C-alpha cells in the first residue's frame, strides 16, 4: 500500500484497463471529448512518479513532432520544472528512433518566490524549494532519460537565446560541454506565460527553427487561463508562415517549407 492508501494491485488493474481502452488510447478527465491521451504503460508510470504539470494531451503532440522531425538538429525545451516533459521528450525520441539532442533551459526561479523567505507558514525557504526542484529534475532525468541524457542549462530563455546566437560553448548542469548555436528542429515553449515572454520565446525559437520544424506552445488551449499564450497562438495562425500540425488541446505548429 502506498502513502495515500492505494493498493498496488488496484493500480495495476487501472493501468490494464486504460491500455484496453478504445483504439489503444486512454482518454481521461473531464475534457475526454476534446483531447486524446496516447499514454502507454511506461508513460503512465512515468507520469505517476515524476512531478509536473504536463497535460496528458501533450503526449500526442510531442510524439507527432518526433515522428515528423526534419533532420537531426537539436530539440529545445524552454521551462523544465521537475523534468516530466523533458523525460517524455526523451521517451518519444527513443520510440521514434531519433537521435536529436535535447537541450532543456530553465533557471528554476519561480513567480512570487521570495529568496530567503519561508514558503507560506512552513519552515522551508524558497531557496530550499528551488534547490529541491532543480535536484529533482536532475534525479528524474538520470533515471528516466538514460542512456542519452538531455543537456540542461540554468538560464532564462532570454539568456539562453543570446548565448545560442553567440554560439557560446558552455557546460550543462551535469558538467558536460555543450556547444550552442545553429538550427533547431523542435521547440517546446513552456516558460513564462505572459504575452511578452511567450511572444519573445516564439520569436527566438522561430529565428533558428528549420523549415518543416515544429513549435509546441504549452497551456495554449482555447480555454487556457493564460491569455498571453492564446494571443501568441492567434498571431502564429495569422502569420501565414506556419501550419497547424496538431491541437490536443494545446497547439503544435509546423513551419512551412516555403514562406
For the chain, the domains span 55-255
Alpha-carbon span 220 to 190, nearest angstrom: 10
pLDDT of residue 29: 39
CA angle 81, 86, 88 (to 5 degrees): 125
Q: In what order do the strands lie in the sheet with 102-105?
A: 151-153, 102-105, 75-78, 184-189, 209-217, 251-255, 242-247
In this prediction, residues 134-155 reach a mean pLDDT of: 97
Q: What is the pTM of this model?
A: 0.86
For residue 258, name the pLDDT band (cuts at 50, 70, 90).
confident
pLDDT of residue 15: 46
Q: Each residue of 3-57: pLDDT tens digit? A: 444 434 444 444 444 443 333 333 333 444 478 999 999 999 999 999 999 999 9
The mean pLDDT value of the chain amounts to 89
Query: What residues have CB less than 8 Å from 42, skipping those under 6 apart?
Result: 91
Helices 58-67 & 84-95, crossing angle to 10 degrees? 40
pLDDT of residue 45: 97
pLDDT of residue 186: 98
The CA radius of gyration of the chain, in Å to the nearest whole number, is 19
pLDDT of residue 259: 59
Nearest Cα neighbor of 201 from 182, 215, 213, 211 is 215
Q: Each residue of 213-222: pLDDT tens digit? A: 999 999 999 9
Alpha-carbon span 51 to 112, nearest angstrom: 20
The answer, yes or no, to whether residue 60 has pLDDT greater than 90, is: yes
User: Where in 97-250 does DSSP place strands (E)?
Assistant: 102-105, 151-153, 169-171, 177-179, 184-189, 209-217, 242-247
Q: CATH number of the domain at 55-255, please? A: 3.40.50.150
Alpha-carbon span 116 to 125, nearest angstrom: 6
Nearest Cα neighbor of 109 from 130, 125, 124 is 130
In this prediction, residues 195-209 reach a mean pLDDT of: 98
Amino acid at each position: 500500500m502506498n502513502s495515500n492508501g492505494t493498493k498496488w494491485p488496484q493500480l495495476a488493474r487501472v493501468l490494464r484497463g486504460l491500455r484496453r481502452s478504445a483504439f489503444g488510447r486512454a482518454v481521461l478527465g473531464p475534457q475526454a471529448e476534446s483531447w486524446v491521451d496516447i499514454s502507454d504503460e511506461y508513460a503512465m508510470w512515468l507520469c505517476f512518479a515524476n512531478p509536473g504539470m504536463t497535460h496528458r494531451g501533450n503526449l500526442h503532440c510531442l510524439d507527432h513532432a518526433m515522428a515528423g522531425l526534419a533532420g537531426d538538429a537539436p530539440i529545445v525545451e524552454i521551462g523544465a520544472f521537475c523534468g516530466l516533459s523533458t523525460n517524455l521528450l526523451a521517451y518519444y525520441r527513443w520510440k521514434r528512433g531519433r537521435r536529436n539532442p535535447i537541450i532543456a533551459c530553465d533557471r528554476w526561479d519561480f513567480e512570487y518566490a521570495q529568496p530567503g523567505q519561508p514558503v507560506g507558514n512552513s519552515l522551508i525557504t524558497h531557496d530550499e524549494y528551488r534547490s529541491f526542484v532543480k535536484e529533482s529534475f536532475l534525479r528524474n532525468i538520470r533515471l528516466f532519460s538514460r542512456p542519452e541524457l538531455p543537456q540542461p542549462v540554468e538560464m532564462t530563455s532570454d539568456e539562453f537565446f543570446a548565448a545560442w546566437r553567440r554560439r557560446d560553448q558552455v557546460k550543462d548542469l551535469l558538467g558536460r560541454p555543450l556547444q550552442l548555436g545553429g538550427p533547431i528542429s523542435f521547440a517546446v515553449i513552456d516558460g513564462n506565460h505572459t504575452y511578452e515572454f511567450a511572444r519573445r520565446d516564439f520569436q527566438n525559437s522561430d529565428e533558428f527553427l528549420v523549415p518543416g520544424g515544429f513549435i509546441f506552445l504549452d497551456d495554449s488551449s482555447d480555454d487556457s487561463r493564460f491569455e498571453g499564450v492564446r494571443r501568441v497562438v492567434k498571431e502564429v495562425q495569422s502569420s501565414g508562415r506556419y501550419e497547424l500540425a496538431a491541437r490536443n488541446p494545446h497547439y503544435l505548429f509546423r513551419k512551412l517549407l516555403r514562406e
